[in-house]
């Protein structure tokens, strides 16, 4: 009897909650909302957002198409009084998320992400002193000038990637997507595991790579506002996992287990390695050394004074901050580089003429170096302007994190005569840049794609410098040693890779086929030797 009453009470409570929310959120202002789908009483634009669509459609493409329908780069979507504003141009995103960052730097409450155990990820936190402490701790070690310290290991990992590519070449020289993706994931995860936790053993690497692959599914699925009805119906978080139709809750329970293991297992291993004296210098050890291993009371007070903590409490809290930052880096860093590299291979497979021009530049720059027959290095980047243009154009055409994480307005605002109420979820859609032309059409970009391919304003991804350096080196090395071509059928007709993308926070291309062929016998040998032979280091 009680179970029956409980089952009946939940939908009734949901309806009452959302009707009340709708009535309370109706603004009394006279200015209109931005253009968007027609809002019906109570349910708003629910049917427009939930319109059946193919599995290949993505949120960023849907937002782009709605913008085209209403001829506006700023859209308003209302579902049960939950306001979402989508910014479909760099101009609108820069004005609101950059210039008015004091209003738009927070996050909406991400109910499904929190239910999935992601509350420790500071990327999902609202704009508070607790978030600022995380951001400050993280950025000290991952800002652009700090990444150079990791370049030697990035070279080693790139050498392993090239050797793996050379080893999977079959008699038909076809690189299978699953093989390519596995190699790229191994590469990206090995770099972030080393820089964050100092993990280098292959057995540990394999276990933690599988762990992050499982956990990354949670943030990819939950970070886009509206992916789950819980974003609009917060009371759904109280629905038990056994409730009929509560598959979302069962997913949350599963993801919460994976995310808990992700943030705790490598951290516990790091703490054990410190205790045994075998720890390698990395983000975790450097932060812990600054804390209680070499931390004085003044340092602790400085870092946590805005949280109103005592010295005893601050040490415990600061270790939690460091653990959270390490987990955030681990989760994000193991996925964003994968997306960038796979997208680069996919796009370049369509443009042999671009590869040829880039290879001409690479051959000229590398042959003029003190040691010839070298792989491109970070010290060559300033001389490889065409390769740099390719990299930036790919970022512009296919940003790895198209929508970023959602922002939230903390005050009423007006933009170009449109009203944006306090509490509105604001989404910057970087995918609305035209995906036309070749990936090297220009050498200068305004705005720089690096500034919006990883989020906006104060919430731009602080780990982007590592992802960009890692991906650039792979792109340059593959171009220097290989030709990327599309597959030919039995009738010698080229087959295009599938240029569709899976929906989620990070853009991943659907499986595609291509050939990655060494340019010559000497290039093949260079892929096998990597940077171990005659590597040139920056001054």
Residue ranges at the known binding site: 461
336/468 Cα distance (integer angstroms): 9
Q: For residues 259 and 45, is the Cβ–Cβ distance under 8 A?
A: no
Helix, coil or strand: residue 18:
helix
List all residues 6 or more positions away from 394 whose beta carbon is below 8 Å from its beta carbon: 340, 343, 344, 347, 439
1/234 Cα distance (integer angstroms): 26
Q: For residues 401 and 340, is the Cβ–Cβ distance under 8 A?
A: no
307/304 Cα distance (integer angstroms): 5
**Cα torsion at 238, 242, 243, 246 (round to 10°)?**
80
Query: Which residues are documented as binding site for heme?
Result: 461
Given the structure tokens 């003190």, which residue do they identify?
370
132/227 Cα distance (integer angstroms): 27
Sequential DSSP letters for 367-386: HTSSSSS----GGGGGG-HH
164/315 Cα distance (integer angstroms): 43
Q: For residues 505 and 347, is the Cβ–Cβ distance under 8 A?
A: no
Helix (H) or strand (E) holding 84: strand 82-87
CA angle (390 as vertex; 388, 394 as ends), nearest 5 = 120
Collect contacts of 462-465 with beta carbons under 8 A, ≥24 apart. 462/135, 462/138, 462/139, 462/142, 462/143, 463/138, 463/142, 463/328, 463/329, 463/332, 463/333, 463/336, 464/336, 465/142, 465/143, 465/144, 465/147
- Tokens at 490, concatenated: 């039995």
Task: Please list the residues that pair with 495 across neighbouring strands.
Answer: 487
């Amino acid at each position: 009897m009680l179970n029956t009453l409980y089952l009946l009470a939940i939908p009734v409570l949901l309806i009452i909650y959302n009707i009340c929310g709708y009535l309370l959120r109706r603004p009394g202002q006279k200015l209109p909302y931005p253009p968007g789908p027609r809002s019906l009483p109570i349910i708003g634009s629910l049917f427009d957002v939930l319109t059946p669509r193919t599995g290949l459609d993505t949120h960023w493409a849907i937002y782009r198409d709605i913008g085209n329908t209403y001829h506006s780069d700023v859209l308003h979507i209302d579902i049960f009084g939950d306001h979402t504003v989508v910014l479909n141009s760099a101009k609108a995103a820069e004005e609101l998320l950059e210039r008015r960052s004091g209003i738009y730097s927070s996050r909406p409450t991400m109910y499904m992400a929190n239910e999935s155990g992601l509350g420790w990820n500071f990327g999902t936190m609202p704009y508070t002193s607790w978030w600022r402490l995380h951001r400050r701790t993280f950025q000290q070690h991952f800002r652009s000038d700090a990444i150079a310290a990791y370049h030697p290991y990035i070279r080693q990992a790139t050498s392993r990637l090239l050797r793996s590519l050379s080893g999977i070449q079959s008699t038909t020289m076809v690189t299978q997507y699953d093989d390519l993706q596995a190699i790229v994931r191994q590469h990206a995860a090995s770099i972030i595991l080393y820089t964050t936790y100092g993990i280098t053993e292959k057995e540990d690497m394999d276990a933690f790579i599988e762990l992050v692959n499982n956990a990354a599914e949670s943030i990819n699925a939950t970070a886009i506002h509206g992916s789950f009805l819980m974003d609009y119906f917060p009371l759904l978080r109280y629905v038990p996992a056994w409730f009929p139709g509560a598959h979302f809750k069962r997913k949350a329970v599963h993801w919460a287990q994976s995310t808990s293991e992700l943030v705790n297992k490598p951290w516990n291993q790091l703490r054990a390695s410190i205790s045994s004296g075998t720890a390698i210098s990395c983000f975790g050890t450097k932060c812990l050394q600054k804390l209680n291993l070499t931390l004085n009371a003044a340092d602790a007070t400085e870092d946590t004074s805005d949280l109103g903590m005592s010295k005893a409490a601050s040490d415990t809290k600061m270790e939690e901050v460091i653990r959270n930052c390490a987990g955030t880096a681990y989760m994000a860093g193991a996925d964003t580089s994968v997306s960038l590299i796979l997208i680069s291979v996919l796009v370049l497979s369509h443009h042999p003429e671009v590869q040829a021009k880039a290879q001409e530049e690479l051959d000229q720059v590398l042959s003029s170096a003190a040691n010839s027959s070298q792989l491109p290095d970070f010290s060559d980047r300033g001389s490889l302007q065409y390769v740099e243009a390719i990299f930036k154009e790919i970022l512009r055409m296919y940003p790895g994190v198209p929508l970023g994480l959602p922002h939230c307005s903390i005050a009423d605002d007006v933009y170009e005569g449109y009203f944006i109420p306090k509490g509105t979820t604001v989404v910057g859609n970087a995918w609305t840049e035209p995906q036309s032309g070749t990936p090297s059409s220009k050498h200068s970009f305004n705005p720089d794609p690096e500034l919006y391919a990883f989020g906006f304003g104060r919430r731009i991804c602080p780990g982007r410098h590592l992802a960009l350096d890692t991906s650039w080196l792979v792109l340059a090395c593959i171009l220097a040693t290989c030709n990327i071509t599309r597959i030919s059928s039995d009738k010698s007709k080229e087959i295009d890779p599938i240029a569709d993308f899976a929906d989620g926070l990070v853009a991943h291309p659907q499986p595609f086929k291509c050939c990655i062929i060494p340019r010559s016998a000497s290039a093949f040998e260079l892929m096998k030797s990597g940077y171990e032979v005659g590597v040139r280091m920056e001054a």
